[in-house]
Structure 1
């Protein structure tokens, strides 16, 4: 089974948020997931355990590195492989 999560990260205290967004995209590359980068959000597809670990790790990373942010997570129903 694979879980699909659509992630939107919005750094609120940055002059140019693209750098922070790019750093998080590079961080995602360490996970065994499929990544689809869109204009406003990124979709990750993978095993449920990996997706939830990834979400927690991203949140923890953003909390340490960003003063203020919004992090929207939309979970889609799982797909059977």
Structure 2
């Protein structure tokens, strides 16, 4: 039963992660960061690109899956990197935002 309660709380919740990706030992760090931004944009999250980091907003499960995907993809590509992630606590999805996301589907 606790599992169902947890699942119900996650639905309708949104969180923000601020991601800083630092490619190491490369002559072209900007290209590596741009590649990562393009990778992130393929996920079901809102993306806000900042000077030193990228913020992503979405359902907590989607955010955690994205972080895992970034880590695993960069590892498989034999990249040497630092990945800093800051998470904000989840908040309830604003009903207006929920309607907008339904319209997009």
Give TM-score, length-normalised by structure 1. Answer: 0.94
**Secondary structure at the counterpart of residue 26 of structure 2:** coil
Aligned to 1:42: 54
Aligned to 2:76: 64
Distance in 1 (alpha carbons) for counterparts of 2:16 and 2:54: 10
Residue from 15, 30, 33 that aligns with 2:27: 15
Q: Which 4+ runs in 1 deviate beyond 3 A?
A: none
- Structure 1 portions without partners, runs of 5+: none
Distance in 1 (alpha carbons) for counterparts of 2:66 and 2:79: 20
Superposition RMSD in Å: 1.0
User: How many pairs were matched up?
Assistant: 81
Aligned to 2:96: none
Greater strand share, structure number: 1
User: 1:1-55: CA deviations, max 9, x gaps?
Assistant: 1011000000011112011111111111111110000000000000011000000
| Structure with bigger RCO (C-alpha 8 Å, 6+ apart) | 1
Deviation at 1:78, TM superposition (A): 1.1
Residue from 23, 34, 45 that aligns with 1:33: 45
